[in-house]
Structure 1
Amino acid sequence: MKQVMLLLLLAGLGLSGAVKAQVLAPKTSMPAQPADLASTLENSANPRFKVLNKPTPIYRRAADTLDEKHVFVLTPGTKVYIRKYLLQGYMINFNSEEYYLPYKFVVGIPTQIEI
């Protein structure tokens, strides 16, 4: 008889633990996150571009700027499409490939939107 009572007691404790686990947490409303300008521009349907006004070196990735390992130098008047805004520069599309363009080479050049 004691074994049956002990078994029922353990079964009841297990059942109450399962019921407690199913209790839903109170709903909390999350405030809306402000829109991030960089992600908004990156996901835009209208591409952004810059027209270079001086010879500008471009790189495969940001780390190549430390060793000045540029892929080639773009001539003035070249249109480059901005694909991603990074911390120190842009990822651009040129000749169907992605390159890194540091901000310091395009300071003062307006970003244009193609419509």
Structure 2
Amino acid sequence: MRKYVSAKYLRITMYDNDFTYSLLQLADILYEIFCTTRFPEDKDLPILKDYVQHLWFSLHNIDRRMEHKSCNDFKETHLKIFTPHLEFVDYLDIPAGWNNDVDVYIPMFENAEILRR
């Protein structure tokens, strides 16, 4: 009997689709880092969560600040809002269709597409 092995992805969940654009920027940056260094393992997730939170917070607020011509109009989104949930999932467990744009799936291998659901 042949055993099928599926591909591993890192799912980042925000639980709020108001941050989809910055979530996609974050996923692109992380994938580039992983491809040029190494792909994370389970033991890396707790510390990555903290870095991901700060990076995501920064990306989102830089984008928002540049969008507003007047700094007086800019209201920073607080760091605590950007608390991601990180977990590894199998490709076969990724929903086939749209899932409210609260998740990105970063492949844990090169030359693949980041999935958004």
**TM-score relative to the length of structure 1:** 0.26
Greater per-residue helix proportion: 2
Higher relative contact order (CA 8 A, sep 6+): 2
**Structure label with greater radius of gyration:** 1
